[in-house]
């Protein structure tokens, strides 16, 4: 293992509740009723696919999708700038991996603009050697391209990378890229068997220590 790649929303910053708030605010005028449980099933998707899915469910005119995508992204940017908070263990894990001389990247479904805002807000930009966004890719997560792009930017083969993810779609993207994956699901869904596809399942990044790193590098041996 030579590199580690992080997801962002819900892993580095506690932004998923803010994405949910933004979606509710922008969907309500259109008659779309989004519950927390329904939203949870779509965590990890780009805003583009997220909007397309719900527009199809409620048979909303697709000509309104672009303005809705833009509105959600703008509301999220505002909310994150005002009240986005770092999740526990982020600095601890980044510092440990930096000392171990891992190349560190970030692969997110969020727009590049939001990635830059989060890295600056949390004062962690100096830890990252590269980041990639799925914003303009033909396909977002669970397609592996955003992870493959980040590995390419780091100049590391995908099989020599491992990832941190919090969403099911993100985990599938990482594994499809032939990377090992440490998943940190939300407490409400961590009990679900689908997470068994990951190499390690954690309740929080705080739990990731030298032993966990050794397991990722060497496996069960």
- The active-site residue out of 7, 149, 166, 199 is 7
Q: Please give the full DSSP string across 81-129, using - where no structure is assigned.
A: HHH--BPTTHHHHHHHHHHTT-EEEEEESS-HHHHHHHHHHTT-GGG-S
Relative to beta strand 161-165, strand 130-133 is unpaired
Q: Of 84, 64, 102, 116, nearest to 132 (Cα)?
A: 116
7 has catalytic annotation: yes
66 alpha-carbon distance from chain centroid: 22
Structure tokens belonging to residue 49: 């696919």
- The active-site residue out of 9, 149, 166, 199 is 9
Cβ atoms 70, 78 nearer than 8 A: no
206 vs 168: CA distance, rounded Å = 20
Active site (catalytic) residues: 7, 9
């Amino acid at each position: 293992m030579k590199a580690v790649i992080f997801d962002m929303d819900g892993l580095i910053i506690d932004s998923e509740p803010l994405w949910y708030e933004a979606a509710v605010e922008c969907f309500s005028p259109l008659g779309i009723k989004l519950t927390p449980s329904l939203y949870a099933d779509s965590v990890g998707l780009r805003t583009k696919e997220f909007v397309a899915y719900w527009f199809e469910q409620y048979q909303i005119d697709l000509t309104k999708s672009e303005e809705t995508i833009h509105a959600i992204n703008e509301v999220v940017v505002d909310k994150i700038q005002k009240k986005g908070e770092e999740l526990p263990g982020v600095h601890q894990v980044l510092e440990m991996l930096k000392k171990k001389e891992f190349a560190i990247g970030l692969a997110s479904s969020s727009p590049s603009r939001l990635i830059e805002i989060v890295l600056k807000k949390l004062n962690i930009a100096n830890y990252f050697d590269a980041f990639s966004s799925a914003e303009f890719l033909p396909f977002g997560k669970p397609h592996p391209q955003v992870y493959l792009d980040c590995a390419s930017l780091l100049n590391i083969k995908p099989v020599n990378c491992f990832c941190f993810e919090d969403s099911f779609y993100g985990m599938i993207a990482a594994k499809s890229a032939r990377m090992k994956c440490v998943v940190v699901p939300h407490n409400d869904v961590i009990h679900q068997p689908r997470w068994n596809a990951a190499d390690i399942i954690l309740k929080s990044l705080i739990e990731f220590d030298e032993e966990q790193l050794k397991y990722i590098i060497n496996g069960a041996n």
